[in-house]
Structure 1
Amino acid sequence: MPSEIDQEGEGPYRLLFCSSKGDKAGVMQELVKGVSPNLADYDKRTALHLASCEGCMEIVVLLLEKGADVNSMDRWGRTPLSDARSFRHHDVCKVLEAHGGTDPGSFGEVYSVKWRGTEVAAKTIRSSIASNKTVKENFLKELALWQKLRHPNIVQFLGVLKHPDRLIFLTEYLRNGSLYDILRKKGRLDSLTAVAYALDIARGMNYLHQHKPHAIIHRDLTPRNVLQSDAGRLKVTDFGLSKISQGRDVGYKMTGGTGSYRYMAPEVYRRESYGKSVDVFSFAMIVHEMFQGGPSNRGEDAEKLADKRAYEDSRPHLPSMMYPEPIRKLLQDCWHKSPDRRPTFEEIIMHLEIIQENLQEKGIGTCCSCLIL
């Protein structure tokens, strides 16, 4: 989010602010000043990303006319069309597509389609990727894994569509978007909502970690990989980077570039052996964002941030006026520098249920500083 100074018109990021608010005159002012239509924020999100996300058709058309890159990618690999589709701005999607816009998704395109009379999400791997034998085998292993999963806080796998030159699989369609979308629109959540959401995520992750015969480690747990159902419940999705832990809880390795730096456990960044607790670390970063309304150190490069957490034991601030003491203690335990000192999701659920019960008894919503256990 641009700073208050930028919003008032004294900085180059005013273009982004005006684009997100549908302020056509403000956008024109900035462009006339010579501000690039492809100016991006710290997450590489451009004015076209923001306008597409908010469904601001006039701004989208104006930016495209002024040379905005229709396929600019943010830090998570999302294009303006990805954002427009997430919020079902169909008219904006048509304009972006007419200008050559694409939606790369996690592997290829992600579509909302009708399957047996029901709206579902179709996730594809493009033919250029699917032709790679290793990638195809890994993808099919992912499908085989998803097919066995059944939990109310896990996105449900539905089936596979046969296509001559690409791989397509179907999951339930969650029209409310991701936790990332929720936080970007609402900002800081009230305590009861944040704890309820944290419980949803923890229950889904506990199911994965207790999977038999081997635990399932997500490895890329971020707000974008947590979706909201029509009933308002959160569900964990996208196991494209997941692996089945072989044997015991530790011993797997992955490169520092795997997963999202902002939520990456220190041992992963250092390319050390890791276990299920890497997901606990990521979970703590997500819960921190729910109480704060977004990520800490927004302006800092995500990779540099991960480096500080890995080698300097840097962690986000936990001001007492914003974080109830029980939440502060839980987060500190979950992002502990020693992986074996972090609680399991089963233990996390127990703590959160107690916190939730106390919040409900005290009738606490937006006020969180007065919760003491």
Structure 2
Amino acid sequence: MGNFLFIYITHLPTSVAATMAAETSVCQEIPSIIMLFLLCLSSTAVEPRSSLSRGSHLSVEDASDVLTSQDNTFTCGFYNVKGANAYWFAIWYTHSMEKTTVWMANREKPVNDRGSRLTLRRDGAMVLTDVDGSTAWQTNPTSTEVDSADLLNSGNLVLRDRNGKILWQSFDYPTDTLLPNQTFTNSKQLTTGIGKYMFGSGYFSLFFDENNVLTLTYRGPEISSIYWPSPDCSTIFECGRTNYNSSRVAVLDDMGKFVSSDGLQFGASDMGVGIKGLLKMDFDGNLTLYSLNVSTGLWVVTWEALIKLCNVHGLCGRNGVCEYTPSPRCSCPPHFEPTDSTDWGKGCKPKFERTCKDSHFVELTHVDYYGFDINYTQAISLQQCRQLCLGDCRCQAFSYRLDGKGWCYTKSSLFNGYKSPAFLGNLYLRLPKEIQTTEPTNLNASGHVCSINMINTTEILPSYHTNNQRSTFVFLYSFALAIGAFEIPILVLGWWLLFRKQGVPDLVEDGYRTISSQFRNFSYAELKGATRKFKEVLGSGGFGVVYKGTLEDARVVAVKRLGDEVIQGEEGFWAEVSTIGKINHMNLVRMWGFCWEAKHRLLVYKFLENGSLDKHLFSTSFLGWKDRFRVAYGTARGLAYLHHECLEWVIHCDIKPENILLDNKYEPKISDFGLAKLSQRGVTGSQVSRIRGTKGYMAPEWAMNLPITAKVDVYSYGVVILELVKGIRLSDWAVNDSGEPESELNRFVSLARGRFRKGEKSWVDEIVDPRLRGNFSRNQAASIIEVGISCVEEDRNKRPTMESVAQVLLACEDETAICAPENK
């Protein structure tokens, strides 16, 4: 009966359409449709599948479209963090409360929530495609002999031929988790995620090093450092390991026991038959063994590599110090502040300028920084150790042991800091003499303290407590869900039939999703009235004309009418709206709504009072220096967000003063970013179908037909900030000393590079916009010029990233600071 009804309903649209043509109202058909739907609900449920045949696929749009192992232990499909439009193809424990992931295919490249799919192609390749058809991940190598993809009871996703031979398996490509009976060899590594629910690769890894020993290593942007086995072990054997092995293999068995060829052995505290466990590299850098309580869905820690989390290197970044109060937390030393208060991995930055002269020292009791010793000397006095540091310009601090042996360690850099009463010694931090330290030397005196996000069972699953109140709530909630499951499909079915009767295109389903989110769907008549029939033009460009308007709620808006050459059909328009809707940053123009009606395609933005940058930079109404620096820094932050942080990783392709708008506080907001072609990180080759940009701001690779990357925006940004300094259009042409035409940009860059090589500084006054009459920061101006020159390098590989540019300019916010761009 269930199968018969299923076939009947799959053919329902045709019969309904025929009936609707004969009836005067769709409502007359709804009762019979409801009866059919209710009968369908009572039909036999579809059995879960563990295999995907060649030519079939899994869809992101259907949450039930998954593979489940035959014993129901593991599930494979699209994994989503609630509230984010980001999906990963993953394997997770079926019975854990929050679908604890054990493997991910595309941890670096999440895909969209509409149209993405995982396909086992007929050529044998398993391919993950995004909504635009681009490949986010695929198996490699592939074989035409592949017959099926199967999720095994072990949690291993395999591709097999008709004879059952495994041709590819997920066990060969672990992410941050090792499952029972998954062999770990020298070709594999476990790498942490960036943070909780942030699955991109972090800085901590487990792997076999060149000495054939399993190690935990921090590999950050500045340093690499092994922290397990303990660096305090004088030999490998002292740490209970041996490097006399060539196999380099380890395995966690079904009992919860781990054995490695380097002699390392450990077991779960609940070791025994039937344990469902995993070995995980937590994002705080610790290696932890967990066991699953099947009855509650909670994970229990049964073994940890490091009992003291402050032994993890790189945890608090450069200059930062890890201490227990009583839980681990990061702190800054006196006269230091966090580089980024939201990310302690970036450490602390000094509030002073380092100098080799007139230095004195601040004592930090029981504090030390591991590594980066310039030299170490035994049996000398504290005063002699101090003189060693003063005599070496590289020395930033020295450590002196209080164990009676007089050990002195001078430090060239301050990483891997920790404070512990067990450490019998003090650190002496080198500071400029003019800094008078009246505060105590306690780390808390800095006022910048942040708790470390400790990994425990709540990292994988939230804590769960049962009581009568919760039981009542669960009952009511379950009852509401049951009613919703009954009512909502009926309402959706009726809504679909009603709109089908009226001839609305299928794409309205996508529109309905967008309308019901944070956007508002404006009617064309409403926007026509708001703009007084599109009377006041704010500006125009390659993407369309912008008009000023006032909504009924008195909000002032900018309405962009998109040209036909920009948006080709409905799909292009919805892709545009979807892109902009997921992007939000204080230095990007915010969109409030849209209009899609007949041939009209309009976007509604917040109106910005001060218009575009060009109107304030190339006119008599020029910007002061503080506003110019604010524009340079804010624009860098906005582009860094587009390139490195937001889900779609957008390349703007047309950065220029006209596309940088200013609010009432002259905070910059980048516009038109949503109309750029999307670019996926890691993709080689051009992602842009035609040349975009404005002459004078376009990178050389446009004309050279090279693949387009985010470095085209870096080039354009470099031109803009050099114009901020100079106050004129550097895209203009002039005649050089030889009487030949030369761009103002080339002249400026050539002159500036020559002066920088000679170490001249006084020329900055001569080159900066004379309208400022000397009212500007020389340090900031010199730094912006140097950053701008590095951005407009013809070789794009020599240009910095926007993330590094933003960091350099942040260091220059203090007008007295001396800063320089990083070479990246």
The structural deviation recorded for 1:335 is: 1.2
Report the Cα distance in structure 2 between the residues aligned to 1:140 and 1:183, rounded to whole angstroms: 35
Is residue 634 of structure 2 the alignment partner of residue 197 of structure 1? no
1:128-207 correspondence to structure 2 within 5 Å: 129=564, 134=568, 136-186=570-620, 189-207=623-641
1:35-74 correspondence to structure 2 within 5 Å: none
The structural deviation recorded for 1:183 is: 0.7
Answer with 1 or 2: which has the greater Rg: 2
Preserved contact between residue 249 and residue 276 of structure 1 (Cα < 8 Å): no
Task: Show the counterpart of 2:811.
Answer: 354
Secondary structure of the 1:218 match is: coil
Is residue 685 of structure 2 the alignment partner of residue 251 of structure 1? yes
Report the Cα distance in structure 2 between the residues aligned to 1:253 and 1:231, rounded to whole angstroms: 36
Task: Show the counterpart of 1:227.
Answer: 661
Q: Mark the CA change 1:263 to 1:352 in structure 2 (over 3 Å): closer, same or farther.
A: same
Report the Cα distance in structure 2 between the residues aligned to 1:179 and 1:352, rounded to whole angstroms: 19
The structural deviation recorded for 1:266 is: 0.9
Report the Cα distance in structure 2 between the residues aligned to 1:226 and 1:163, rounded to whole angstroms: 29
Which of 315, 327, 342 aligns to 2:799? It is 342
Preserved contact between residue 567 and residue 573 of structure 2 (Cα < 8 Å): no
Task: Show the counterpart of 1:111.
Answer: 547
Report the Cα distance in structure 2 between the residues aligned to 1:134 and 1:335, rounded to whole angstroms: 33
Deviates most, 211-220 or 347-356: 211-220
What amino acid is the match of 1:177?
Answer: G
Secondary structure of the 2:547 match is: strand
Task: Show the counterpart of 2:562.
Answer: 125
Report the Cα distance in structure 1 between the residues aligned to 2:716 and 2:707, rounded to whole angstroms: 16
Q: Mark the CA change 1:229 to 1:201 in structure 2 (over 3 Å): closer, same or farther.
A: same
Report the Cα distance in structure 2 between the residues aligned to 1:160 and 1:139, rounded to whole angstroms: 10
Gaps of 5+ in 2: 1-530, 736-740, 753-762, 769-780
Task: Show the counterpart of 1:56.
Answer: none
What amino acid is the match of 1:200?
Answer: G
Preserved contact between residue 538 and residue 547 of structure 2 (Cα < 8 Å): no
Report the Cα distance in structure 2 between the residues aligned to 1:149 and 1:272, rounded to whole angstroms: 28
Report the Cα distance in structure 2 between the residues aligned to 1:256 and 1:145, rounded to whole angstroms: 19
Q: Mark the CA change 1:140 to 1:315 in structure 2 (over 3 Å): closer, same or farther.
A: farther
- Give per-residue Cα distances to partners, 1:68-90, cap 9 Å, x unaligned: xxxxxxxxxxxxxxxxxxxxxx9
Task: Show the counterpart of 2:698.
Answer: 264
The structural deviation recorded for 1:122 is: 1.0
The structural deviation recorded for 1:220 is: 0.4
Deviates most, 136-145 or 215-224: 136-145
Preserved contact between residue 253 and residue 272 of structure 1 (Cα < 8 Å): no
Report the Cα distance in structure 2 between the residues aligned to 1:209 and 1:267, rounded to whole angstroms: 18
Preserved contact between residue 179 and residue 226 of structure 1 (Cα < 8 Å): yes
What amino acid is the match of 2:626?
Answer: L
Task: Show the counterpart of 2:784.
Answer: 327
What amino acid is the match of 1:277?
Answer: K
Secondary structure of the 2:597 match is: coil
Preserved contact between residue 256 and residue 271 of structure 1 (Cα < 8 Å): no
| TM-score, reference length from structure 1 | 0.60
Secondary structure of the 2:631 match is: helix
Task: Show the counterpart of 2:218.
Answer: none
Report the Cα distance in structure 1 between the residues aligned to 2:790 and 2:673, rounded to whole angstroms: 25
What amino acid is the match of 1:178?
Answer: S
What amino acid is the match of 1:334?
Answer: C
Secondary structure of the 2:615 match is: helix
Report the Cα distance in structure 2 between the residues aligned to 1:241 and 1:133, rounded to whole angstroms: 9
The structural deviation recorded for 1:189 is: 4.6
What amino acid is the match of 1:353?
Answer: L
Secondary structure of the 1:110 match is: strand
What amino acid is the match of 2:806?
Answer: I
Aligned residues, how many? Answer: 259
Preserved contact between residue 653 and residue 676 of structure 2 (Cα < 8 Å): yes
Task: Show the counterpart of 1:287.
Answer: 721
The structural deviation recorded for 1:139 is: 3.5
Q: Mark the CA change 1:353 to 1:296 in structure 2 (over 3 Å): closer, same or farther.
A: same
Q: Larger RCO: Structure 1 or Structure 2 (Cα < 8 Å, ≥ 6 residues apart)?
A: 1
Preserved contact between residue 255 and residue 271 of structure 1 (Cα < 8 Å): no
Q: Mark the CA change 1:313 to 1:279 in structure 2 (over 3 Å): closer, same or farther.
A: farther
Preserved contact between residue 187 and residue 293 of structure 1 (Cα < 8 Å): no
The structural deviation recorded for 1:125 is: 2.8
Gaps of 5+ in 1: 1-89, 363-370
Q: Mark the CA change 1:254 to 1:178 in structure 2 (over 3 Å): closer, same or farther.
A: same
Deviates most, 201-210 or 337-346: 337-346
Task: Show the counterpart of 2:40.
Answer: none
Report the Cα distance in structure 1 between the residues aligned to 2:648 and 2:557, rounded to whole angstroms: 29
Q: Mark the CA change 1:334 to 1:353 in structure 2 (over 3 Å): closer, same or farther.
A: same
- Quote the sequence identity (%): 25
The structural deviation recorded for 1:192 is: 3.0
Q: Which one has a larger percent strand, Structure 1 or Structure 2?
A: 2
The structural deviation recorded for 1:298 is: 2.6
Task: Show the counterpart of 2:38.
Answer: none
- Give per-residue Cα distances to partners, 1:32-77, cap 9 Å, x unaligned: xxxxxxxxxxxxxxxxxxxxxxxxxxxxxxxxxxxxxxxxxxxxxx
The structural deviation recorded for 1:325 is: 3.1
Task: Show the counterpart of 1:210.
Answer: 644
Task: Show the counterpart of 1:53.
Answer: none
Report the Cα distance in structure 2 between the residues aligned to 1:184 and 1:257, rounded to whole angstroms: 26
Report the Cα distance in structure 2 between the residues aligned to 1:105 and 1:122, rounded to whole angstroms: 13
The structural deviation recorded for 1:227 is: 0.3
Secondary structure of the 1:271 match is: coil
The structural deviation recorded for 1:337 is: 1.8
- Give per-residue Cα distances to partners, 1:313-352, cap 9 Å, x unaligned: 9946435333543223212211122212211111111111
Task: Show the counterpart of 1:32.
Answer: none
What amino acid is the match of 1:112?
Answer: K
Q: Which one has a larger percent helix, Structure 1 or Structure 2?
A: 1
Report the Cα distance in structure 2 between the residues aligned to 1:102 and 1:184, rounded to whole angstroms: 17
The structural deviation recorded for 1:210 is: 1.7
Preserved contact between residue 122 and residue 168 of structure 1 (Cα < 8 Å): yes
- Give per-residue Cα distances to partners, 1:219-265, cap 9 Å, x unaligned: 00110000011222110001365111134154225478421011011
Q: Mark the CA change 1:102 to 1:197 in structure 2 (over 3 Å): closer, same or farther.
A: closer
- Give per-residue Cα distances to partners, 1:267-302, cap 9 Å, x unaligned: 11222112111101100100011111121263459x
- RMSD over aligned CA atoms reads 3.5
Preserved contact between residue 685 and residue 707 of structure 2 (Cα < 8 Å): yes
What amino acid is the match of 2:796?
Answer: P
What amino acid is the match of 2:619?
Answer: K
What amino acid is the match of 1:331?
Answer: G
Secondary structure of the 2:692 match is: coil
Report the Cα distance in structure 1 between the residues aligned to 2:632 and 2:714, rounded to whole angstroms: 12
